[in-house]
Structures are given as structure tokens and as C-alpha cells.
Amino acid sequence: MTELSLIIRSELPIDSDAIERLHERTFGPGRFARTASRLREGASHDMALSFTALVGTLLVGSVRLTPITAGEKPGFMLGPLTVEPAFENRGIGGALMRRSIDAARDKGHELVLLVGDEPYYKRFGFRRIPYHQLTLPGPVNPDRFLALELVEGVLAEAHGLVAPRPD
């Protein structure tokens, strides 16, 4: 049996339908009601910071970064991070995360937020946002509201409502 290698590449416009089907399979119809999803409706994700994972020609993972403001501070909302269920636990999600974070850092961006499980995301440098420092436009468990400072100390400058930052 031949082992296919993993390719991480920038998301392309032609990936849109395959990514939407992947999101449907992994998150189901309730994904649109989530606060993070509703926040992403107000701005398009940044294609230069969004990546896909392929095994052969099969799209097996995706990560997107969407521009937001955290109070007055520009930043990005990471997500969804998605891996095809049959390909989970193989390091694909981690590879996508590292590529996206590195790309944001290389372009001089300072802050990335997400809603997710701290035990998974802390290995990438994410930590809980202090309670009431930032708020999302809908309900979210504050223990799952996380930030990654790409520039040390930048989170302390961010206060208030997180909102979409249209292009």
C-alpha cells in the first residue's frame, strides 16, 4: 500500500464548495447558530491566512482566519479548524494551525482569537482571555474564549466588543 503525503497549501477559491461540505459533515447544521460562526458572517476570511490540507487530491482539512476588531485592536478570529473525521488524530489540525499562525505572524499581525478547547489550543500558545475584557456578540463559555498574542502584550490593549472587520 502506498502512503500519500500531506500537502498544506493556501486556500483557493475553487476549494469553497469542498470546505463547506467538510464543515457540514464535521459540525452539522447547528454550526450557523454558534456565536463564532455568526461573527464570521460579517467579514470574509483572509485567503492569504487560510489553508487547506490535502491527501492526494482529497481535501481533508481547512483553517480560516477572519479579520475582526477586539475593541479598537485589529486581529483575527481563527476558525473553523476542520479535519475530515476519517483523518483525525494524525496531526493535520496541528499542521494547519502552525501554518496559519506562522503566516499571520510573518505578515505582521498581532492578535488571534478563537472559541475552543484550551487543552488543545494551549500548545499553540493560546490562553484564556480575562473575564469581561472582551465580549463576543452572542453567548459563549468564557473558559473557551482564547487569545494568542503574536506580539507580546497586545492582548492587554484589547478591550470591549469583538466585531467583524470588513475588508
Distances (CA, A) of 106 to 38, 100, 110, 150: 28, 10, 10, 10
Tens of pLDDT, residue by residue over 69-78, are 999 999 999 9
> Cα(135)–Cα(120) distance, rounded to whole angstroms?
22
Considering the four listed CATH numbers 1.10.3470.10, 3.40.630.30, 3.50.50.60, 3.40.50.800, the one that applies to the domain covering 6-164 is 3.40.630.30
Tens of pLDDT, residue by residue over 35-60, are 666 777 768 899 999 999 999 899 99
- pLDDT(1) > 50: no
Using CB atoms within 10 Å of the CB of residue 128, give its burial: 0 to 12 exposed, 13 to 18 middle, 19+ buried.
Answer: middle
DSSP state of 107: T
Q: Helices (DSSP H) in 15-76: which residue ranges?
A: 16-27, 35-40
pTM of structure: 0.90
Tens of pLDDT, residue by residue over 7-45, are 999 999 999 898 888 878 776 665 544 666 677 776 889
